[in-house]
Amino acid sequence: MSDTSLSSGVGATDTPAQSRSADARSNRTSLLAGVLLALFLAAADSTVVGSLLPTMANQLGQADLYPWLISAFLLTSVLVTPLAGFAADRYGGRSTMLAALLAFAVTSAAVAAATTMPLLIAARAAQGIGAGAVAALTYVVIGQAFGPDERARMQAMLSAVWGLAAVAGPALGTAAEATVGWRWVFLINLPLAALAALLVRRVPSAQAQNSRTISPWALLSFALALGGALLLLEAPALDFPVLVVIGLAAVTAVGVVGHIVQVRRKPQAAVVPVAFATSGEPRIAALLTIGAAAVLYASVTLLPLALASHGTVGDTASGLFVMAGALGWVVGSAVCAGLLKRFGARGTALIGGLLLTAGPVVLVLGGSESLALAVIGEALAGLGTGFVATTGLVHIQNTSPAQWIGAYTAGITLCRNIGAALGINLIATVQLIAADRHSGTDSAGGSYQAAFVTLAVIGLLTLTGALRLPKRG
């Protein structure tokens, strides 16, 4: 059974080493196919509900609760992200991904079976746990399976799946609603999640990299802090009473203070590694990711409203902006993957920062009045996000300790989700405040201009922050 014993003769077959190499390639191909399918399912389910909301509200009643169908899903998917990274480090990426796919399939069936709006909201919140874990784990598993020289290309491929899902999700929802009914959008997840699990299951189980445990009190305080903060960001859209807002602020403060106390007592029990939040390079990469996500998601949300206020386009044109931003993200990630080794983290992040600044500037110059400028501005924002997000993720994975790669990857993914929520709600607040302060017939136009200027400032801050990254990849 020696590895050095070779077959000989005319009919010789592959050596044991060659067989192991072929098996390894087959396993990685299977893994990649499985996680790409899993990511597509999770990403598509985060966008598909938008096109189904009117039908769901008409069938189940209590239409005033419909914002929670999106907010509950997003809240739980964000909260579970760092826990997924911890579990991947603790129990192995394959085992954790299989558990996440099972949770996603079961909760998808619950969404399809819901008969009332409250039950549907509860099922969507549960589904967010599975979808959020699956989405985070795809990046973790790829980071664990591929080396530094391959990660940029792999992450660009994952970004392409995100972009495809962003465009395909609403289209698939509309098609299903017109044919077989909206419930089948979620029932189809069961066989597809099973297929993804079979592909992932072919990969040999890897030994756990980390034996750390999370303190239950640290977990509770983290959930209170992050959950309270996210609900505060959603407060304007969900129309919370003042007392509820005050209560959420108190819960957030208690969670923040409690988590700081717990982490000071036992740093190893933190949900997100302390070094991720305190070390220079990880912190800069995290902040850049937040800025990029804020610009992209806020501009996609704001543009249809700005153009509609000028009577430039109808509501159906919103799909153009989503597509422009999504395709920009895909192209930016792919190009960044090819340039990272040549220009290093600082160089590609600077390119992304320039694009993130240029996009909102184009919108300021006429994105509220011209459909062409709106699409160009959104495409530039998508390109910038592709560069910055890919740079941040690959840099984090390449510089994190091996035993922390899951937690660091989940941390940067969490930052992207927080940036999206922060950007959408911050820009909505800026626009509303500006609308109140403006007077006359140009009140709407001036308020949207103020919002786009704010996005340009965020892009400029991202550009400045990129200078803090090292030149190496």
| pLDDT tens digits along 4-61 | 333 334 444 444 444 445 555 667 788 888 989 999 998 888 777 766 777 787 788 7
Query: Which parts of 64-113 are beta strand (E)?
Result: none
CATH topology of domain 275-466: Growth Hormone; Chain: A; (1.20.1250)
pLDDT, the chain, mean: 80
- Pinpoint the residues of the chain covered by CATH 1.20.1250.20: 21-200, 275-466
Asked whether the beta carbons of 360 and 299 are under 8 A apart, the reply is yes
* CATH architecture of the domain formed by 21-200: Up-down Bundle (1.20)
Residue in 193, 188, 256 with CA at minimum distance from that of residue 222 = 256
| pLDDT tens digits along 365-422 | 876 677 888 889 989 999 999 999 899 888 888 888 777 777 788 888 888 888 887 8
Phi, psi for residue 253 in degrees, rounded to 5? -65, -45
Tally: H helices and E strands in the chain:
16, 0
Mean pLDDT of 141-145: 81
| pLDDT tens digits along 79-94 | 888 888 888 888 888 8
Residue 377, CA distances (Å) to 184, 348, 372, 456, 460 in order: 36, 19, 9, 11, 15
Burial 233-256 (b: 16+ CB within 10 A, else e): bbbeeeebeeeeeeebeebbeebb
Asked whether the beta carbons of 98 and 197 are under 8 A apart, the reply is yes
pLDDT surpassing 60 at residue 351: yes
| 56 vs 177: CA distance, rounded Å | 10
| pLDDT tens digits along 116-139 | 888 999 999 999 999 999 988 998
| 380 vs 457: CA distance, rounded Å | 15
| 322 vs 206: CA distance, rounded Å | 38
